[in-house]
Amino acid sequence: MKRNWLNYLPTLFVISIIISLIAYTSQGTSDRMNYSEFRKVAKTAEFGDTTMEIDSTIIKVNGTYTKNADSKNKSEQSKKQFSVIVPNTEANQEWLEKTLTDDGGEISVSDPSSGNTWITILANIIPLVILAIFFYYMFMHMGGSSNNKAFDFAKSRAQMEQNVKTRFKDVAGCEEEKEEVKEIIDYLRSPKRFTDMGAHIPKGILMVGPPGTGKTLLAKAVAGEANVPFFSISGSDFVEMFVGTGAGRVRDMFKNAKKAAPCIIFIDEIDAVGRQRGAGMGGGNDEREQTLNQLLVEMDGMTDNVGIVVIAATNRPDILDPALLRSGRFDRRITVSLPDVKGREAILKVHARNKKLADNVELHNLAARTPGFSGADLANVLNEGAILAVRNHEKQITMEDLDEAIDRVMMGPAKKSKTYNENDKRLVSYHEAGHAVIGLKLEDAEKVQKVTIIPRGEAGGYNLMTPKEEKYFHRKSELLAQITGLLGGRTAEQLVFGEVSAGAVNDIEQLTKIAKNMVRVYGMSSLGPIQYADPQGNVFLGRDYTQGNSYSDGIAGEIDREVRKIVDECQKKCTKILTENRSLLDLIAGSLYEHETLTNEEIMNLMNYGTIENPNAPQEDDAKPAPIIDEPAEPEEKEPEEEENDKEPEKPAGVNQQDLDDAFNELTKRKD
């Protein structure tokens, strides 16, 4: 963008002042005298060549003179320039002629009317013009700038990108979503095919999904594949404190888009301006609703196949105004959900293009270890791994770096400087071991991938557990297994130490939420398939405050009893599993106490062989480590209820506190 020439005015003004000062200082030897002073100086001075400019009333005299000409000391004599104005009389003309020529000087007379009148006028006007422009500039950039910008408020804030470089190959993990927008690309490339068939291309596409799933990236890829301009703006850019500003920006945005058609308008976080109207107290004639009204009018006023496609993104579709979602405005709704294991692997491959990965890095295993991660989370994992590799002065990113990166993204950096005392360390070891045993022995529980007692974030330790297979729906038995697994740590504390700690606060929060959803949302209780859930989403001021619960106080009491019943049953089952597998619990807790971190392979070895190392594994130096995800085949086990008929359960009476203390002392000596 070219700079305004007024921006150079202060520099020119400063330069002119400097030149004036230099010119003024260069005239330091020149005297500007009045008539009386000149009469006194003329008595002792010797005049050289002079110039007289005779006007009708005055005589301008310029020349040189030698001061103190009568002095014998040459150092006291000095030659200077002078200028004086003398009244124009005959006596003064005669006196000047005699005085200025007595010492041999010559007089030259000039006519003032013979000079260039325009030069004189410009010499007097130009400084005034420069001063006027300078003060105008200062006023516009200081005092008047805010008023001047008031005319720019109604202009669109949408940023236009002409040559979009993003393509579908840069968007992974959403193949079905790509198929939904392919006809948009075909229409923008060759609209005649659709108009000949009488088809109307969708005016608007609403992309819905959790944050970080690639909604913005997919919209930009559509523009890149179609090779059309891409206007991008956030919903919050429309709303200002001045009334009518947002509506004006909407009009200006569509006006610019029509000039650049065919093109794509992308509105990110449209819920900032597209919330339901009429939800406020005291009327709805506010700035946000006026902006939404103008957006509705502009989209409704777009003629079919005009060449403009509006794509909007949000993760809160439940609060959008119904008029915005009707056919004719946002005709199509695309859900961009979290990627599955294949999608995560494809996303990792996209973000690993410029990464130097070691040979032991398997992106498939990494994808299997990151269920629930969005595309942004996966990109962050690879970036954190690269940062760790640089920090460790490594030439390539290893699997250990990526394993640590996953932990950092999920739980935060490890607090290695934080140390436990012996009692706390034993407590945390049994707490995490309790979670691990439930994951190993309960059929519908999630698979244990990693157990550690190294503090991360606000947690003293954690279990990394992933589902055995990713599902869209969870059965009741799976939800009960999740609650049982969350109770494993607290139950192990009660079983071993006879009391519980506050370390299970997060587990209790999660299992309570699952149990309440089972009763109130999923209908998995004796109350039947009736939903008693509270209103979801944010509260609308003036509307939802007056909305009460959808059930009576009696039903509320039954809900509480059902939630308690579910948790109590899971508690009993958890206690039974840990009691029957007390030896495995002690073994995993002791290994955690000694090694602080156990991987899936080490945990499976402890369960199958009683040691961390597999005694049947090859001992070659170049043997590759087993993948983190793959695990040895677990021997089939019957449910505890079925085993009771075959053999007696393992009795925990043989393990007392003294045996436990001796085992820990032995592990401590071995470590030392």
Look up residue 605 and give its two tokens. 């070895």
> Among 308, 335, 362, where does a domain finish?
335
Looking at residue 374, the DSSP 8-state letter turns out to be -
Asked if 453 and 425 count as a contact pair (C-beta separation under 8 A), the reply is yes
Asked if 323 and 228 count as a contact pair (C-beta separation under 8 A), the reply is no
Buried b (16+ CB within 10 A) or exposed e, 258-269: eebebbbbbbbb
- Of 470-484, 516-530, 634-648, least confident by mean pLDDT is 634-648
Which secondary-structure segment (H or E) carries 231? Answer: strand 230-234
Q: Write down the pLDDT at residue 73.
A: 54
Tell me the mean pLDDT in the region 471-475.
78
Spatial distance between the Cα atoms of 382 and 403, rounded to a whole number of angstroms: 10
User: Does 515 score more than 90 pLDDT?
Assistant: yes
The answer to the question of whether 141 is labelled as a binding residue is: no
Residue 534 lies in a domain: no
Range of the domain at 430: 422-526+568-660
> Among 335, 362, 397, where does a domain finish?
335
The answer to the question of whether 507 is labelled as a binding residue is: yes
The answer to the question of whether 211 is labelled as a binding residue is: yes
Residue 493's pLDDT band (cuts 50, 70, 90)? very high
Same structural domain, 295 and 357 = no
User: Does 546 score more than 60 pLDDT?
Assistant: no
Look up residue 446 and give its two tokens. 């999630």
Which CATH number fits the domain that encloses residue 635?
1.20.58.760
- To 10 degrees, the CA torsion angle through 260, 264, 270, 274? 60
Same structural domain, 463 and 589 = yes
If one counts the domains in the chain, the total is 4
Look up residue 490 and give its two tokens. 């607290």
Residue 219 lies in a domain: yes
The answer to the question of whether 200 is labelled as a binding residue is: no
pLDDT, greater one: 515 or 600 = 515
Helix (H, G, I), strand (E, B) or coil at 465: strand
pLDDT, greater one: 22 or 454 = 454
Asked if 414 and 439 count as a contact pair (C-beta separation under 8 A), the reply is no
Spatial distance between the Cα atoms of 177 and 181, rounded to a whole number of angstroms: 7
> Among 366, 391, 411, where does a domain finish?
411
CA-closest candidate to residue 459, choices 481, 430, 428: 428
pLDDT tens-digit series, residues 547-556: 556 778 888 8
Q: How much of the chain, in percent, has pLDDT values that exceed 70? A: 75
Q: Is 648 considered catalytic here? A: no
Q: How many CB atoms lie within 10 A of CB 340?
A: 14
Of the residues 432, 493, 562, 601, which is catalytic? 432
Same structural domain, 114 and 242 = no
pLDDT, greater one: 78 or 672 = 78
Buried b (16+ CB within 10 A) or exposed e, 137-147: beeeeeeeeee
Helix (H, G, I), strand (E, B) or coil at 67: strand
Same structural domain, 348 and 467 = no
Q: Write down the pLDDT at residue 587.
A: 92
Spatial distance between the Cα atoms of 373 and 464, rounded to a whole number of angstroms: 14
Which CATH number fits the domain that encloses residue 396?
1.10.8.60
Helix (H, G, I), strand (E, B) or coil at 657: helix
Asked if 269 and 313 count as a contact pair (C-beta separation under 8 A), the reply is yes
Residue 382 lies in a domain: yes
User: Does 621 score more than 50 pLDDT?
Assistant: no
Asked if 490 and 508 count as a contact pair (C-beta separation under 8 A), the reply is yes
Same structural domain, 243 and 345 = no
Residue 416 lies in a domain: no
pLDDT, greater one: 185 or 636 = 185
Look up residue 364 and give its two tokens. 């498939």
pLDDT, greater one: 636 or 517 = 517
Residue 670 lies in a domain: no
Residue 487's pLDDT band (cuts 50, 70, 90)? very high
Same structural domain, 618 and 587 = yes
Same structural domain, 373 and 467 = no
pLDDT tens-digit series, residues 333-388: 888 888 888 888 999 999 998 889 988 888 888 888 888 888 899 999 999 999 99
CA-closest candidate to residue 323, choices 204, 157, 154: 204
Asked if 375 and 173 count as a contact pair (C-beta separation under 8 A), the reply is yes
Same structural domain, 386 and 450 = no
Q: Write down the pLDDT at residue 547.
A: 52
Residue 91 lies in a domain: yes
Asked if 371 and 470 count as a contact pair (C-beta separation under 8 A), the reply is yes
The answer to the question of whether 212 is labelled as a binding residue is: yes
Same structural domain, 314 and 175 = yes
Buried b (16+ CB within 10 A) or exposed e, 640-668: beeeeeeeeeeebeebeeeebeebbeebe
Q: Write down the pLDDT at residue 387.
A: 93
pLDDT tens-digit series, residues 415-447: 766 667 888 889 989 998 999 999 888 888 887
Q: Write down the pLDDT at residue 653.
A: 41
Q: Write down the pLDDT at residue 509.
A: 92
pLDDT, greater one: 536 or 245 = 245
The answer to the question of whether 632 is labelled as a binding residue is: no
Q: Write down the pLDDT at residue 583.
A: 92
The answer to the question of whether 590 is labelled as a binding residue is: no
User: Does 484 score more than 90 pLDDT?
Assistant: yes
- Of 200-214, 303-317, 382-396, least confident by mean pLDDT is 303-317
Q: Write down the pLDDT at residue 49.
A: 81
Q: Write down the pLDDT at residue 635.
A: 43
Residue 114's pLDDT band (cuts 50, 70, 90)? low
Q: Write down the pLDDT at residue 570.
A: 94
Tell me the mean pLDDT in the region 592-614.
84
Residue 417 lies in a domain: no
Asked if 501 and 429 count as a contact pair (C-beta separation under 8 A), the reply is no
Handedness of CA 630, 631, 632, 636 (dihedral sign): negative
Residue 253's pLDDT band (cuts 50, 70, 90)? confident
Q: Write down the pLDDT at residue 545.
A: 47
Residue 629's pLDDT band (cuts 50, 70, 90)? very low
pLDDT tens-digit series, residues 42-85: 887 888 888 888 877 888 888 888 876 555 555 556 678 888 88
Residue 517's pLDDT band (cuts 50, 70, 90)? very high
Residue 279 lies in a domain: yes
User: Does 638 score more than 60 pLDDT?
Assistant: no
Best-predicted range by mean pLDDT (55-59, 273-277, 590-594)? 590-594
The answer to the question of whether 435 is labelled as a binding residue is: yes
User: Does 25 score more than 70 pLDDT?
Assistant: no
> How far is CA 201 from each of CA 266, 296, 304, 327, rounded to the nearest angstrom?
16, 18, 7, 12
Radius of gyration of the chain (CA): 44
Q: Write down the pLDDT at residue 565.
A: 94
Mean pLDDT, rounded, of the chain: 78
Residue written as token pair 């500003």: 245
Same structural domain, 256 and 302 = yes
Same structural domain, 291 and 360 = no
Spatial distance between the Cα atoms of 192 and 153, rounded to a whole number of angstroms: 38
The answer to the question of whether 215 is labelled as a binding residue is: yes
CA-closest candidate to residue 54, choices 83, 93, 102: 93
Asked if 77 and 71 count as a contact pair (C-beta separation under 8 A), the reply is yes
| pTM, 2 dp | 0.64
The answer to the question of whether 649 is labelled as a binding residue is: no
The answer to the question of whether 364 is labelled as a binding residue is: no
Same structural domain, 182 and 240 = yes
